[in-house]
Amino acid sequence: MPKTKNTWDPARYQARHSYVWGHGASLLDLLNPQPGERILDIGCGPGQLTHQISESGAIVIGIDSSPDMIGDARQNFPKLDFRLVDATRFEIAPQVDAVFSNAALHWIKNASAVAACSYGALKPGGRFIAELGGKGNIASVEQAVSEVAGSVSDPWYFPTVGEYSTVLEHAGFEVNQALLFDRPTRVEGEDGMDDWLLMFGSALLAGMDEARQRDIRRAVTERLRPTHYRDGGWTIDYRRLRVVAIKPAAPPP
Ligand SMILES: C[S@@+](CC[C@H](N)C(=O)[O-])C[C@H]1O[C@@H](n2cnc3c(N)ncnc32)[C@H](O)[C@@H]1O
């Protein structure tokens, strides 16, 4: 499933990788949505977190550039507002109280464009609450893939605290919190690593034919087995970057 055209398999994502939005629960606490607030969820995927935000009484808009993900989100939560929109080129009117994003922004290399659009979408005083892969995320997997496959694509943006804070500040935000932390993440099942590589890692192998990708997945799985597989599951070295930033309130007249 190469990610060159942002194609996703929502069924596989929901069946095997629900830990992605499961880990987003504590990010929702940080968002602390209030009834009546307008909240934008960037890279909403199949919409589970968008739905959870809406349960607070907030009015939500979920955007995603994958037609499959947006189609699935609309099917999962037909009453919610999901839009097929690229996070590097969007406007939202009227402006929102908060921009939220979980596990999406590391798929978008043009972070400055996302930050500028988010800034434009927010009311003065509005908040930007996001978590993405940070510097060092899945380094062991990337290393194993390049050892097995040689030169591979570089599909992700895994910034440091300093890099990402600078991007947000250039857009006009005040960064209140930025934290890079380890979150070893378990993928269940003997075939869990193969499935992870198929779901997410295929972006590394973009442009290779199916048979070559399958061979690489097999070889990477065997290379990682001694260190990553235990008790029926695989532990992957996720590192997350969590940020809270504010669009400064307009100066008094
Ligand atoms: C791992 S999923 C996360 C989905 C959801 N936020 C969650 O927590 O389950 C990443 C999502 O980012 C979306 N995405 C990637 N690039 C994007 C872009 N340029 N604009 C909007 N969405 C994008 C993908 O389509 C995908 O749905």
What is the bridge-based pairing of β-strands 38-42 and 96-102? Answer: parallel
Tell me, using a 6 A CB cutoff, whether residue 144 lines ligand 1: no
Show the tokens assigned to 253. 């007249």
Note whether residue 148 is domain-resident. Answer: no
Determine, yes or no, domain membership for 241. Answer: yes
44 Cα: distance to centroid of ligand 1 (angstroms): 6
Q: Whose CA is nearest to atom 7 of ligand 1?
A: 21
Considering the domain boundaries, does residue 125 fall inside one?
Answer: yes
Say how far apart CA 61 and CA 58 lie, in whole Å.
Answer: 10
Query: For residue 53, what pLDDT is reported?
Result: 98
User: What is the Å distance from ligand 1's center to 46 Cα?
Assistant: 9
**Residue-level pLDDT, tens digit, the chain, 253 residues:** 334 467 788 888 888 888 888 888 899 999 999 999 999 999 999 999 999 999 999 999 999 999 999 999 999 999 999 999 999 999 999 999 999 999 999 999 999 999 999 999 999 999 999 999 999 999 999 999 999 999 888 899 999 999 999 999 999 999 999 999 999 999 999 999 999 999 998 889 988 999 999 999 999 999 999 999 999 999 999 999 999 999 999 765 6
Residue 4 resides in a domain: no
- Residue 221: HSE in the Cβ half-sphere, 13 Å Cα cutoff: 19
Q: How far apart are CA 158 and CA 155, in angstroms?
A: 10
Q: Is 52 in the pocket of ligand 1 (CB under 6 A)?
A: no
SS3 assignment, position 194: helix
CA 40 to the chain's CA centroid: 14
pLDDT at 1: 35
Residue 209's Cβ-count burial label (10 Å; 0-12, 13-18, 19+) is exposed
Q: Percent helix, strand and coil across the chain, each rounded to 5?
A: 40, 25, 35
pLDDT given at position 22 = 85
- Please work out whether the CB of residue 164 comes within 6 Å of at least one atom of ligand 1: no
Classify residue 211: in a domain, yes or no: no
Check residue 14 and give its pLDDT: 84
What CATH number does the domain containing 241 carry?
Answer: 3.40.50.150
Query: Could you tell me if residue 146 is inside a domain?
Result: no
Ligand 1 centre to CA of 252 (Å) is: 37
Taking the CA of residue 76 as centre, how many other CA atoms within 13 Å lie in the half-sphere pointing to its CB? 20
- CA-to-CA separations, 204 to 39, 55, 61, 66, 106, in angstroms, rounded: 32, 36, 30, 18, 13
- Say yes or no: CB of residue 245 within 6 Å of ligand 1: no
Count of domains forming the chain: 1
Report how far apart, in Å, the C-alpha atoms of 225 and of each of 63, 144, 149, 152, 214 are.
37, 11, 17, 21, 16
Of 128, 110, 108, 109, the C-alpha closest to 118 is 128
- The reported pLDDT for the residue numbered 90 is 97
β-strand 229-230 against 233-236: which pairing, if any? antiparallel
Buried/exposed 134-148: b ≥16 CB within 10 Å, e otherwise = bebbbeebbebbeeb
CA of 102 to the centre of ligand 1 (A): 8
Q: Containing domain of residue 33, as a range?
A: 10-138+155-188+236-246
Q: Which tokens in the block code for residue 139?
A: 């380094």
* Rounded distance from Cα 64 to ligand 1 centre (Å): 6
Query: Which pair of tokens denotes residue 163?
Result: 């890099």
Burial zone of 27 (CB within 10 Å; 0-12 exposed, 13-18 middle, 19+ buried)? buried
Whose C-alpha lies nearest to ligand 1, atom 9? Answer: 21
In a domain, 112, yes or no: yes
Asked whether residue 94 is assigned to any structural domain, the reply reads yes
How many CA atoms lie within 13 Å of 242's alpha carbon, on the beta-carbon side?
A: 16
- Separation of alpha carbons 40 and 62, rounded Å: 6
